[in-house]
Homo-oligomer: A and B are copies of this chain.
Amino acid sequence: MAKPTFQSPSGTRDLYPADLLRRRYIEKLWRDTSIRHGFEEIDGPTFEHADLYAVKSGEGILSEVFQVFSGKDEAEVSRIRGGANAPYALRPEFTPTLARMYAAKAGSLAKPTKWFWQQNCFRAEKQQRGRLREFGQWNCDILGGENDPESRARVDADCIACVVEALWSAGLDQRAVSVAINDRQMLKGWLLTSGAKQEQVPTIIELVDRLSKIGPVAFLEEGQSHGISNELLTVLLARRPTKEHLTKRIQENFESVPLGQADTTGTVKHFIDAMDSSGLLGEDPSTSWCMFDTSIVRGLAYYTGTVFEVLADGERAIAGGGRYDNLIELFGGPPTPAVGFGMGDVVLSLVLQDRGLMPEGDALMDALSRPSASYRPDVFVIPAGQTPADQEAASAKVRPLVAQLRRGVESKAYQDNSAHKPWDANRYDAATGGVPPMHARSSSKASKNIGKLLQDAAAQKAKLAVIVENAEEVTIKDLRTNTQDSSRTRLPDLGQALATRLMLV
């Protein structure tokens, strides 16, 4: 008698120990980055009522999900046999669960609320390179809080900084990947001033989204059939109004570049300022991670502002996200500004492995055994200053300082070794100037009262407070012992001073 053999369902994975360690490496990367950026982890059910997914994505999504039912309820079973869909679906994505959870407790949650999540998702589609039917997914979302254009731009930049930092930690840099960014409001404004009619805008955005799939001929034909002018279609085909690297230079000369001229709503200017204060603008195109690219619109109808994708040559997008200010209301919550991104493990694994950036053997085991990011904030940065000029300089320093502390400083020994790998133990070695990445936060409160800001730091269980006195100096306070330094620390010495107190080195 032949022995039975059993296969895993197609598009799913059996992870033997060596595979599992690689998966854990990616999860650790995601979790550590999220924590250092001040996100808190949540989780929800693996399956939900199927209509939850239709609320966000329309009924069409229900043909893409695995259907689930208990088989215990006769009425339910007979409905399914009669042709109805099953009552539950395996989650194809986490955002509807997040929206449901946020809406249920919106009144009692922090403003903003920063949540991350990482588990598996499921899509009932054919397996292809970079696409499986069960896959790991990482989401970071920032919900609620101030809703003025400047605050929104800062929160957008915070999200992009988190995704960039994860890639940087994994050893990917601006030569390997880029973040392509667009703003739907800006695109819409530009389309209207370029001759599009209001009612054509959704069709045009949808066409632009499909351009790379359908090709230029179908793009022109479909556009013409919707009555869009040939002139506008030609400009769109050439990826106008602009595809521009976001560099320090663009910030200085914003009004003179095509992007600045197309920014009829003013949101992109705020966004570029926020990207700069997050340390995300390179000096020139060759060192810039990010570019503005109006061909990025992302198909999902629910995005309302900034949209972005992380791209690597020859692969599907590694990550994608954007602003979705209407979603929480759709799930029964209050009007809530929101922005987030998602990243899957399948494409990221391919990109890391292709570039020799996935450790093996004892290097992998050692990397996994390193301490995780601190769940308590290592550092809480507070603006102070005794004169109005110092106060202004201190306030302007908060975001750049938080960004620097989250990234850390690579040691000279690491940089000088041309064969270095991101998991090398000496990457942040203090002996040659390294500073390990820290969990850094600042207050979302507008208050300038240092006592209140220190209370906020303590409430968030921060270990150290960094009180910024001016553009060059800070005072360190240890919140665990409630002792404040009698002398100030100069900024270039800050990282190592903090690391020593946290015993990270």
Contacts and interface: CB of A to CB of B under 8 A. Distances in A.
Interface residue tally on A, bucketed by range:
35 or more
Nearest to A90: B68
Interface stretch (A153-161, A193-201, A314-322, A360-368): A360-368
Nearest to A121: B46
A9 B82 CA distance: 23
B6 A45 contact: no
Contacts of A21: 41, 375
Contacts of A333: 3
Interface in A353-407: 361-362, 364-366, 368-376
Interface in A62-112: 62-63, 65-72, 80-83, 85-86, 88, 90, 97, 100-101, 103-105
Interface centre among A7, A47, A81 (most CB of B within 10 A): A47
A271 interface: no
Given A366-B376, A369-B376, A45 B124 contact: no
Interface in A5-31: 5-9, 12-17, 20-21, 23-24
Interface stretch (A48-56, A249-257, A442-450, A493-501): A48-56
A47 B375 contact: no
Interface string A330-355: 11110000000000000000000000
Given A66-B69, A69-B67, A376 B371 contact: no
Nearest to A100: B6
A46 B332 contact: no
A85 B69 CA distance: 10
A9 B331 contact: no
Given A68-B90, A362-B376, A331 B6 contact: yes
A227 interface: no
A469 interface: no
A81 to B, nearest CB: 5
Contacts of A46: 12, 46, 90, 120, 122, 134
B374 A371 contact: no
A481 to B, nearest CB: 14
A221 interface: no
A299 interface: no
A352 to B, nearest CB: 19
Contacts of A101: 14, 16
A63 B77 CA distance: 12
Contacts of A45: 8-9, 12-14, 134
A11 to B, nearest CB: 9
A138 interface: no
A289 interface: no
A347 B452 CA distance: 41
Given A16-B105, A63-B72, A376-B366, A100 B361 contact: no
A4 interface: yes
23 contacts: A3-B333, A6-B100, A6-B103, A6-B331, A8-B44, A9-B49, A12-B47, A13-B43, A16-B42, A16-B101, A20-B40, A20-B43, A46-B90, A46-B120, A47-B90, A66-B70, A68-B90, A71-B124, A364-B375, A365-B376, A369-B371, A370-B371, A372-B372
Contacts of A69: 66-67, 86
Contacts of A376: 362, 365-366, 369
Contacts of A373: 369
A9 B371 contact: no
Nearest to A41: B20
Contact of A47 (B48, B66, B72, B370): B66
Contacts of A412: none
Given A3-B332, A47-B66, A332-B6, A365 B361 contact: no
Nearest to A20: B41
B81 A124 contact: no
A423 to B, nearest CB: 13
A496 to B, nearest CB: 20
A105 B15 CA distance: 12
Contacts of A70: 66-67, 124
A243 to B, nearest CB: 37
Contacts of A68: 66-68, 90
Contacts of A44: 8, 12-15
Given A49-B6, A362-B376, A365-B461, A40 B66 contact: no
Nearest to A115: B17
